[in-house]
Homo-oligomer: A and B are copies of this chain.
Amino acid sequence: MGITKTQNFTDEQNELALLGKAFSHPARIAIIMHLLKSQQCINSHLIEELGLAQATISQHLKELKTIGIIQGTVEGTSMNYCINPVCWNALKKKFNELFDQFEDPTGNCC
- A contacts, CB < 8 Å to B: 4-6, 8-10, 13-14, 16-17, 19-30, 32-33, 36-37, 39-40, 50-52, 71-73, 80-83, 85, 88-89, 91-92, 95-96, 98-99, 101-102, 104-105, 108-110
Q: Kindly name the residue among A9, A26, A29, A39 whose own CB sees the greatest number of chain B CB atoms within 10 A.
A: A26
Contact B23 A4 (CB under 8 A): no
Contact B23 A73 (CB under 8 A): no
Contact B102 A88 (CB under 8 A): yes
A8-B51, A99-B92, A105-B82 in contact; A20/B24 too (CB < 8 A)? yes
Residue contacts A-B, CB under 8 angstroms, 9 given: A13-B29, A14-B26, A16-B26, A17-B29, A20-B22, A20-B23, A24-B24, A39-B105, A88-B99
In the complex, the chain B residue whose C-beta lies closest to that of A31 is: B13
